[in-house]
Amino acid sequence: MQFINIQNERLSTIGIGSAALSGDRHAEQEAIRYGLSNGINVIDTAESYGDSEAIIGGALKGIPRDQYFLISKFLPQHATPDLMRRSLEGSLRRLGVDYLDLYLLHWRENANLITTVAELEKFKQAGLIRHWGVSNFDTQDMEDLLTVPDGDHVFANEDLYNLTSRGVEYDLLPWQQERQICFLSYSPFHAVGWNFIKPATTVKEIAHEHGVTPQQVMLAWLLRNHNVLPLPKAGQISHVQANIAAVDLVLLPADLSRLNTAYPAPTHKVPLDKI
Ligand SMILES: NC(=O)c1ccc[n+]([C@@H]2O[C@H](COP(=O)([O-])OP(=O)(O)OC[C@H]3O[C@@H](n4cnc5c(N)ncnc54)[C@H](OP(=O)(O)O)[C@@H]3O)[C@@H](O)[C@H]2O)c1
């Protein structure tokens, strides 16, 4: 596994996603434990992911708390002081931990950024979270965030980013990189609702040439600049193994150029894609 350093946190270059867990609970917990014992230390979940927090909590039993970086999220409709505390306490209880490493506002909606950040800072001071961040924020949302008191303490923004959804490359990615704000990329295979990317022939050809799968090409492509941290969800060990192996897959300049032709980079600002 390779690691990146963000604000003194040593994070594995890929994490473990967890939307729509609860197919085969036992297999999913095994897959999470396999990932953690093979170098992944970032796990992403949310209060809104059904049983995912409880399933992850079961998988984490017995693993020393400092061995993983645990992310959860609260809904914007819970972004009031009372409801945020209730959300956080619920996530901690289901996950079976005393603190989160990163707590994200799941999307902006009508959340009051001033009071939300103030409450997140209180959680931090109380030792209930180590960092806070946001999700589904576009560049203007991030600019707005930086204008509120302590808004510049934001650790991460988690957004949709994959081969078919490259809008963030135009301005948001460089904007975050300049400020050392971690970019977590969700749905690397665009698979929510099982609506996978249908890999273009180019992806299949490149996969064939490297002796890997199209999904491994998609992950290696996301990792090409070392400035995003993808969060693939995998409910089976074989998929976790493949995703870990993809970290060492280096795409050639010619591969990248063929992928650029199949999935062109943005040439102008496009609104942030969301799932
Ligand atoms: N912040 C947000 O608003 C937001 C929104 C969406 C997602 N997310 C986060 O991002 C995570 C990932 O996104 P996602 O769940 O939408 O989908 P995804 O990671 O793009 O795709 C997951 C699907 O890919 C399969 N898969 C995993 N590794 C594979 C491999 N190596 N080869 C072939 N198939 C593979 C999984 O199968 P198996 O499960 O059968 O292994 C699952 O069906 C979520 O779980 C969640 O943590 C965040």
In the chain, pLDDT over 70 holds for what percent of residues?
A: 97
Amino acid at 65: R
Q: Which helix (H) or strand (E) holds 20?
A: none
Output the CA 245–ligand 1 centroid distance in Å.
16
Nearest to 232 by CA among 40, 29, 33: 40
pLDDT in tens, 57-74: 999 999 999 999 999 999
pLDDT in tens, 142-185: 999 999 999 999 999 999 999 989 999 999 999 999 999 999 99
Answer yes or no: pTM beyond 0.85.
yes
Q: Any catalytic annotation for residue 49?
A: yes
Q: Is the pLDDT of residue 192 over 60?
A: no
The ligand 1 atom at the shortest distance from the C-alpha of residue 186 is 10
Amino acid at 75: L
Output the CA 197–ligand 1 centroid distance in Å.
11
Least confident segment among 89-98, 188-197, 203-212: 188-197
Is residue 272 in contact with ligand 1, taking CB distance under 6 Å?
Answer: no
Look at residue 158 in the predicted model and tell me its pLDDT: 98
Mean pLDDT across 31-58:
97
Gap between the Cα atoms of 27 and 213, Å rounded: 22
Enumerate residues 6+ apart whose C-beta is below 8 A from 217: 199, 203, 206, 207, 210, 246, 249, 251, 255, 259
Nearest to 38 by CA among 21, 63, 73, 9: 63
